[in-house]
Structure 1
């Protein structure tokens, strides 16, 4: 009888020990998974960039946001550091000014125009844009990105003739 009782106690103890070990193991696995998830979230936390902080804060936008290997760049327009339109009436110079600003943002993230995967162009004068669009071959020397060219009624200010936004994939 004592042996039988001892055997029952031993079996119950073994089951409790296994259950406890299993729970501890599951907790450890859960903690490890949560730690990995936290590291992944930290690695992919948005990185915001302001090219002209005062202007962008006044209008309520960030010029670029990087998450992981992807960078979204707001439309660049031809403006000075105070937000005033530049090259008024000159489509080609406005386009060059846009690409100059976009180049600054790309360089901030260690990228070039070769890393651009999407380019969307918005213009209030498509025929005029098409006359000067060949300039893009000086920007995109190896390949052109995907994208759209859209004729629009107006941009943020009436003096803006063109706005160019980009999406970038930065290789690791």
Structure 2
């Protein structure tokens, strides 16, 4: 992911984090949004900065969580503020590999979480997409 850019909406009550993806303006979304003390991070796949994907779901999960962390930090939060994650995988039989990565990041934080299998993600090479919600103290 490239450098994150922050903007404020016209009313001034929400901050938007943009990764500069060509899809953000096309689809009308932000990488993450902060409203008050809440941060919501868009579903993030584990794509590398050069547009490639690691071969394993675990490596992709680690990359997706790094993207999420960068977005949360850019809006004044930290991973310790995460209260919920949602993980969408294309092969739920690999859930333990995903769980190990998620557990390494969130072992002491222990957010509510969901993992579900989906037929396919928007990019055929992506094996996992992760969303996160955070509340800043």
Scaled by the length of structure 2, the TM-score of the pair is: 0.82
Q: Do the aligned residues in 1 keep the contact of 2:82 with 2:109 (CA within 8 Å)?
A: no
* Runs of 4+ residues deviating >6 angstroms: none
Partner of 2:115: 149
CA distance in 1, matches of 2:91, 2:52: 16
> Going by fraction, where is strand more abundant, 1 or 2?
2
What value does the CA root-mean-square deviation take over the aligned residues?
Answer: 1.9
Partner of 1:33: none
Counterpart among 30, 45, 60 of residue 94 in structure 1: 60
Partner of 2:6: none
List runs of 5+ in structure 2 lacking aligned partners: 1-10
Alignment of 1:22-171 (within 5 A): 45-81=13-49, 84-87=51-54, 89-171=55-137
Give the drift of 1:158. Answer: 1.1
Deviations, residues 59-88 of structure 1 (Å, cap 9, x unaligned): 432111111011111011022446x3421x
Deviations, residues 15-71 of structure 1 (Å, cap 9, x unaligned): xxxxxxxxxxxxxxxxxxxxxxxxxxx67x121111234342244321111110111
Give the drift of 1:116. Answer: 0.4
Q: Do the aligned residues in 2 keep the contact of 1:119 with 1:164 (CA within 8 Å)?
A: yes
Give the drift of 1:139. Answer: 0.6
Scaled by the length of structure 1, the TM-score of the pair is: 0.67
Deviations, residues 147-168 of structure 1 (Å, cap 9, x unaligned): 2111111111111100000011
Q: Kindly name which structure, 1 or 2, has the bigger radius of gyration based on alpha carbons.
A: 1
List runs of 5+ in structure 1 lacking aligned partners: 1-41
> Going by fraction, where is helix more abundant, 1 or 2?
1
The structure showing larger relative contact order (alpha-carbon pairs under 8 Å, at least 6 residues apart) is: 2
Aligned residues: 127
Q: Do the aligned residues in 2 keep the contact of 1:79 with 1:86 (CA within 8 Å)?
A: yes
